[in-house]
Structure 1
Amino acid sequence: MQWLFGSDEDILKLVGRRGSFLSRIGVAVGIKDSDFPVFRELYYEFMEQFKSRYSVYTPRRVFASVDVRGILIDGSELKEYMLFLRDFVNDVVNTSGLYVNFVFASFGTSRISLPGKAKPVSVKTFIESTLKSYFAYIPVWTVIHRTGIKRARVYVDSFSTSPETPAWNELCNNNEVYVVSNGDKVNLLISAADLLLGYIGTIIKLRNKKPDISELKSYLKPFGFNDDRFRIYHVGNRDLGHIIYKDPTVKINPLLYRPFPIVYLIPELSPAGLLAGKDERKLIESSHVYEYILRYVEEQEGSLKIISFTEDFKHLSAGGVVVSLGEHSRRIAEYLRLLGFPLEHLNARELIHLYGGDPRL
């Protein structure tokens, strides 16, 4: 038996009459590999019903919390979104054997010393800036560290290049770790973690009270969570030696932990000087064809990246799939293959046709 985990994170800010509270929060979902096929089928069935009910026309089967919020919330109305997530807990989480682990990080000190910094930083800076770059893996590390689970397969939503921590080393030394870009849109376990994080985070914000482990469990119980498979963990001062890096110059490169195959999108406009790279990314991610690309990556259980020849050329010899979006990118894809890189080439129309769309679009 092997454990499978998905991990994601966010920030929690509360403001009340007695002051403010700041914390990084996360969810790590876990499931035994023997139970995963049931979870997968329940997840797909639930999302197909969601698409049908709200007339969501997309080939995608995996959704992030931000996708669901965008579809269900009209103005400031939260009711439909919260009902959707409660149904997700009842119909998918509790029925499939998924374990839900909510983790929140807060610290009983005003300043924290960091290697390489001349002066200690405020706890606010530590939570908002330092932890932001790598907290994505801390929820699953917390669960594995405290339960003693080993040899798990771990999927973490993408995070920045960041200093290596003892927590990261412990996680990687004992487990199979993958960092998935757009993980909440292509990986079922990261998506589940993200959806549940949105649910729990919203409940806590509506209550607007500083989290406490015993209180959290009592007031979250009416929202559908199974007591036997719901855990809450606090990361605090005792964990600083694990979650603070020892040497700021020793970095984690998340690109080295991507699951294969890697699907590279080749930009069409920015190399020709017609659009800035970040603007083309926004254009692609808001497009119809991007939905088909996400479906393909999810089905292949791989990872997605807009190609960067300064970052990726050293990885191309490991193979993967290149997706061209137009004539310019088609020529680049064929050039890469001519150079001998073992890359499969698909164009956007082929992907649309693969999943039953109109290739003329």
Structure 2
Amino acid sequence: MNKLNVALIFGGKSGEHEVSLLSTASIYKHINKEKYNVFTIGITKDGKWMYYEGTEENIRNGKWVNLANLNVEINLVPMGNKEVGLLFEDGHIEKLDVLFPVLHGPYGEDGTIQGLFEISQIPYVGCGVLASSVGMDKLICKKVFTQLGLPQVNYTDTNRWVFNKESEKELDSIEDELNYPIFVKPANLGSSVGISKANDRKELLEGINEALKYDSRIVLEQGIDAREIEVAVLGNEDVKASIAGEIKPAKDFYDYEDKYINGTSTYEIPANIDSKSMEDIRNMAVKAFKGIDGKGLSRVDFFIDKKSGEIFINEINTLPGFTNISMYPKMWEATGLDYADLIDKLIDLALDSRK
């Protein structure tokens, strides 16, 4: 059987560049190289595309930038007589059967690069343009969830132009709508980058200023004393949800440092919740995924209020972390689908979506 040519595309311009390197190194290590010819295409922090051929360790530590082969031409846009694929120095072209983006955050998870993939007409892993852009934008996604009838904590929003013009008035308005603690989040980012928890007006101002470094639009959410529950979803038309897992943050919330650096938070899979809550959460995860027209994969995050037991959907991540400690593959592993088979399934779904 001929091997499929699969290109892992990693790095990128977003604040989650380093997360992408960790996820890609893990996928590269576990992908079945007897089934696939694996090509690796890195995108630098300033947006340069480079072909890299080497070890996963040099992907992980960022040294791939200095080891990239700049003589290999990457062409994903059909132009004139040029074939789409990788043009090597000896003149031969490697056509790509599947593109596997491992790009988190803006320019990778927000529909922009998915638009390029659509133009290339090469099947690709994950959600399409619409689902990616909606899933990435926390504010728009919340509005879609409202239309779907999915329960959420109270929230409001602001933006750079309004806040810079009349910050005191905006702070008053936020305090009128929400009680402390308040979570402050950039509208378009993931992996908890730029997110903070404000317990008073001073911290709220600091949190908004920090979030504005990453995006011009800010989401503010009512903080509740809650358990953090996550579910992995997989599929195109026939969508399945994994068993749910619970994050037990070492700090006030599960932040970037804990997700990808020190790993001091713990998790429990399956989550210690009653069977009805487990079923409700899995069903809501599938509903949210289908509601944004998701394809391939996503991780859907929930809160369970510790006092009332109410379940609230938090957000959907259309290209979740894929490191060896990431919840998405861990939850599928606990459900009966191991890491390598999960990669196979995602590639199959990418091919199926183009039929």
TM-score normalised over the length of structure 1: 0.24
Higher RCO (CA-CA < 8 Å; seq separation 6+)? 1
Higher helix share: 1
TM-score normalised over the length of structure 2: 0.24
